[in-house]
Structure formats: C-alpha cells, structure tokens
Structure 1
C-alpha cells in the first residue's frame, strides 16, 4: 500500500492544475480590461470586469461634433471596449490542459483505490477481531 502523503501530493497537483487557469506566473489574477476608441482616437473608453466602464476620455476637438454624432462615437468606442474585454476574459479564463488533468486524475485513481482498499481491509480485520473478542 502506498504512503498516504503520495495520494495527498497527487491530489494537490490536480487541484493546482484545475485552480491555476487564468492566473499569471506570480499566481495573481491578471488585470483584464478592454479598450475602445472612435472618432480617430478622439474618444476613448476603458471597460473592466463586470462590464463596468472605468473611463471615458473625450478630446476637446471631439466636442465640436454635433451632439448626436458625439453620442454615436461614444457608443462605438464603448462597444469596442466591451468587445475587447470579452475577448480578454475568454483568453485568460481558458480551461486547463484537459489531457494533463486527466492523466493526473488517472494517477489519483491508480494510487488512491489500492490505498483505500487497504484501509477498508484493515478496518474489516479490526472489526473481525473486535467481534471475536479481540483474539487475533
């Protein structure tokens, strides 16, 4: 029967593989933003997680546009920022390598099942000893 710490180590490896998706090398979640611009860069929008608009910048030259045109440019820049944000989220939240995770799960199965069977067998022997009055 393998040592229980081997099973713990294998399970920890699988959990790390499953939990590590979308994290940077230092373990911190990446900063995810989307940026959009319109009116030749005179209107710029930054969108953050949750679809929140973090900033809207309008250059003074854009203020000369008719209000309906300016509103359209702000809308276009906002939609571009949100589209980039969706793409960035999809990129960083990619699933872990399923081949590696499956191999690790197979290793857990390979080591855990015999260990657990050994524990069950030992418990059955103890139960038999107790039932027979403690005689070996």
Structure 2
C-alpha cells in the first residue's frame, strides 16, 4: 500500500511537536511552583515578592521606616521592587531554559523542503493527469 505521506512531512511535524511537548513537560515537572522574585532594601526593612508576568505579590515595610520622609521611603521601596523584579527575571530564565533556535530552524527548514517537494510532486501529477485526459478527449 502506498504511503499517505510520501514526503515525510507529517512525520517531521509529528517529531517536532513531540520534541517540543517533551521539553515543555520536562520544564513543567522540574519545578511545579511558579517562579518568584524576592528583593529587599534598607537592610531588609523593606521586602518585596514578585510573580510572573511582573506583578508585585507582597510588600512589607518595617514600621521603623515610617519615620523617614516620603521621598526616602519611596526610594527604598523602589529599590526593593527593582531587586525583586531582577530576581524574578533570573528565576524565569532558569525555569524556561535555553531554546536551541538553530535546531528548531533546521527542523523547520527540513519541513519546508519536504513540503515543497510534495507540492511539486502533486502539481506534476495533476499536469500528467490533465495531459492524459486531453489526449483521450481529443
């Protein structure tokens, strides 16, 4: 019986999708809890927690800091938030892991070449069929 996928495009797509799904599953299983960022300022008297996609989830300010002027207090809060966001970025990068774009590009190139070959074969088959029909009719 003839193959329904003579160019192998279906197999290439299936293999690529299976590989991507395996990588995603590995990443999800590596750390079930979502990444979190932590930052502090003023010797730990201001503490901040962040979560994707860049939200502050907790802010703790020691009451002793309330004696400071507003500009100084907000500067400490800003430093703690920025530290927490940087920590979150590091945690997110670690969780996501590197993507091998070169390998993905090579796989997509193979798929493109296979699709082009299959399309050419299909068009040649149509042209041959049209020639045979025109010879029969005329």
TM-score range, shorter chain: 0.5 to 0.7
Structure 1 pair 72/24, CA: closer, same or farther in 2 (3 Å)? farther
Aligned to 1:64: 64
Asked which structure has the greater RCO (Cα within 8 Å, sep 6+), the reply is 1
Could you report, residue by residue, the CA deviation over 1:68-127 in whole angstroms, capped at 9, with x for unpaired residues? 354433222111112222334455556621231233234324533332222111111122
Residues 23 and 92, structure 1, Cα contact 8 Å, conserved in 2: no
Structure 1 pair 37/91, CA: closer, same or farther in 2 (3 Å)? same
User: Are residue 51 (structure 1) and residue 54 (structure 2) matched?
Assistant: yes
Instruction: Report the RMSD for the aligned CA atoms in angstroms.
Output: 3.5
Q: How many residues align?
A: 130
User: Are residue 129 (structure 1) and residue 111 (structure 2) matched?
Assistant: no
Query: Which residues of structure 2 form unaligned runs of 5+?
Result: none
What TM-score results when the alignment is normalised by the length of structure 2?
Answer: 0.66
Query: Which residues of structure 1 form unaligned runs of 5+?
Result: none
Structure 1 pair 44/112, CA: closer, same or farther in 2 (3 Å)? same
Mean CA deviation greater in 72-81 or 24-33: 24-33
Residues 2 and 111, structure 1, Cα contact 8 Å, conserved in 2: no
